Amino acid sequence: GAATSPRLTVIGTGYLGATHAVCMAALGHQVLGVDVDAAKISRLASGEVPFFEPGLPELLVKALESGRLRFTTSFPEAADFGDVHFVCVGTPQRAGSFAADLSQVEAAVTALARDVRRRALVVGKSTVPVGTAARLAELIRSVAPAGDGVELAWNPEFLREGFAIDDTMQPDRLVFGVSSPWAEQRLREVFAPVIGQGSPVLVTDPQTAELVKVAANSFLATKISYINAMAEVCEAIGADVHDLAVALGLDARIGSRFLRPGLGFGGGCLPKDIRAFLHRAEELGVGHAVAFLRDVDEINHRRRARTVDLVRELAGGDLRGVRVAALGAAFKPDSDDIRDAPALDVANALHQLGARVRVFDPVAMDNARRAWPTLGYGQSTFDVASGADVVVLLTEWSQFREIDPEALGTVVGKRRIVDGRHALEPARWRAAGWEYRAL
């Protein structure tokens, strides 16, 4: 019955929302996906995932066939259908500021609340500045016909692109930020199959739940920038940051994950989350407490500049007219996401300095072309490398790791490579006559 099996809506069917909707249906729930983008909704409804995520297209088709997953653009329909409404819209960085742009969240919650006439739980999943939940709860109370019958909870999402299904089905932890035992109970019902698989639940207040997400992403970003800062020191003295990272990582208190030095972090989350956190902490009068995140951001950007320098050095000091083969565009492998992608930032900087850059990426080509139309593109690794003066590896796709240096050497103009992700075996490339440089 309705009491034990709440009907769900998922508002915002981008990366997070589409994954959440499909996974919730796969777990046996009745789910309605909602978005203002009619084109996106009709693609999803016909079984097509509008972005690259391994396994998701198959799971979407199954969920549609089961009859448990439907899509709509109608907020009144969603308000009528759902017992629990998940808000999964984007919170990008505001133009010209570090602050998060909350307009989509506010619009979605308002559009939904206007028609909620019965007891319901609205659950925020979007990454927001701490304190947003309290404001939204106020907004809902004032807008919803059901008034106090509509509660707000926060349930941050920690999924990684490329591992979205596993991270949703078997997350490291579930965080329920709730204001009442009823809200906790509803969330426990929704996530019963996930909890049954062993994911621990942490129950807390909404503002702590909001903070868990930004604090986690800030920690991850800090860890990456820490090892990249060590890379700068290593370079100054001729030490090996990769050996250093292995040695550090073997200390269980430090751990080896997110300690890979290289071109640094990008994507739609880490960079904008640390900036939004800086901004929010300043608003709260505790900017000094997280001021180090500014360094984290700057260290990360210096990696991009250093990669450009390495290419320039290999090219003999001047990039004008130099043919550069750029391998990778996505912000990380197994993703077609190019938001704040270090790879494209570097490719564009090389282009600005006069290099003739040609980019190849296994899945992110369409997105890259659309966002960076002034760059050159090619069909394959060998296509872009053909005649190149310098090859630069920018995203560590496995197909790049497997390149045969001997074979690639036969098509390039000069055997020179910069490995921005430490994805290749230097000895192998040097043995094949390549000048190999790594960050």
Rule CB under 6 A: which of 368-427 touch ligand UGA? none
Nearer to ligand UGA, 157 or 297 (CB): 157
Work out whether strand 8-11 and strand 435-438 pair parallel, antiparallel, or are unpaired: unpaired
DSSP 26: H
Rule CB under 6 A: which of 278-337 touch ligand UGA? 331-332
Residue from the set 23, 41, 152, 259 that interacts with ligand UGA by CB under 6 A: 259
Rule CB under 6 A: which of 223-242 touch ligand UGA? 224
SS3 of 334-354: CCCCCCCCHHHHHHHHHHHCC
Residue from the set 14, 33, 264, 420 that interacts with ligand UGA by CB under 6 A: 264
* C-alpha radius of gyration, the chain, whole number: 24
Residue from the set 14, 129, 177, 262 that interacts with ligand UGA by CB under 6 A: 262
Which residue in 339, 332, 31 sits closest to 163, CA to CA? 332
Rule CB under 6 A: which of 114-143 touch ligand UGA? 127
Q: Which residue pairs from 142-145 have beta carbons closer than 8 angstroms and sit at least 24 positions apart in sequence?
A: 143/110, 143/113, 143/114, 144/113, 144/114, 144/116, 145/114, 145/115, 145/116, 145/117
Rule CB under 6 A: say whether 339 interacts with ligand UGA.
no
What's the CA gap between 69 and 323, in Å, rounded?
49
Non-local (6+) Cβ contacts of 21 within 8 A are 8, 10, 13, 31, 33, 63, 69
Non-local (6+) Cβ contacts of 398 within 8 A are 333
Q: Per the annotation, does 240 bind a ligand? A: no
CB of 337 to ligand UGA, least distance (A): 8
What's the CA gap between 324 and 331, in Å, rounded?
19
Rule CB under 6 A: say whether 217 interacts with ligand UGA.
yes
Structure tokens at 311: 């290419």
Residue from the set 169, 189, 258, 292 that interacts with ligand UGA by CB under 6 A: 258
Q: Per the annotation, does 376 bind a ligand? A: no
Nearer to ligand UGA, 132 or 217 (CB): 217
Work out whether strand 390-393 and strand 323-327 pair parallel, antiparallel, or are unpaired: parallel
Residue from the set 269, 344, 357, 418 that interacts with ligand UGA by CB under 6 A: 269
| Strand, helix or coil for residue 429 | helix
Residue from the set 47, 117, 158, 203 that interacts with ligand UGA by CB under 6 A: 158
Structure tokens at 377: 């593109």
Rule CB under 6 A: say whether 347 interacts with ligand UGA.
no
Q: Where does this chain touch ligand UGA (CB under 6 A) — which range of 27-35, 99-107, 159-167, 359-367? A: 159-167
Residue from the set 85, 260, 312, 323 that interacts with ligand UGA by CB under 6 A: 260
Nearer to ligand UGA, 9 or 395 (CB): 395
Contact 11, 85 (CB under 8 A): yes
Nearer to ligand UGA, 157 or 389 (CB): 157
Residue 269 designated active-site: yes
> How many positions of this chain bind ligand UGA (CB under 6 A)?
21
Buried-state track 68-101, b at ≥16 Cβ within 10 A, e below 16: bbbbbeebeebbebbbbbbbbbbbebbeeebbbb
CA dihedral 261, 264, 270, 275 (to 10 degrees): 120
What's the CA gap between 89 and 87, in Å, rounded?
6
Residue from the set 136, 241, 270, 296 that interacts with ligand UGA by CB under 6 A: 270
Please give the order of strands across the beta sheet that includes 323-327. Answer: 376-377, 356-360, 323-327, 390-393, 416-419, 435-438
Q: Where does this chain touch ligand UGA (CB under 6 A) — which range of 1-9, 158-166, 316-324, 386-394? A: 158-166
Cα end-to-end distance, the chain, whole Å: 59
Nearer to ligand UGA, 64 or 221 (CB): 221
Nearer to ligand UGA, 217 or 222 (CB): 217
Nearer to ligand UGA, 245 or 315 (CB): 245
Residue from the set 86, 154, 265, 360 that interacts with ligand UGA by CB under 6 A: 265
Binding residues for substrate: 158-161, 213, 258-262, 266, 332
Binding residues for NAD(+): 35, 40, 91, 127, 161, 272, 339
Residues that bind ligand UGA (CB under 6 A): 127, 157-161, 217, 220, 224, 258-260, 262, 264-267, 269-270, 331-332
- Give me the active site residues, please: 269
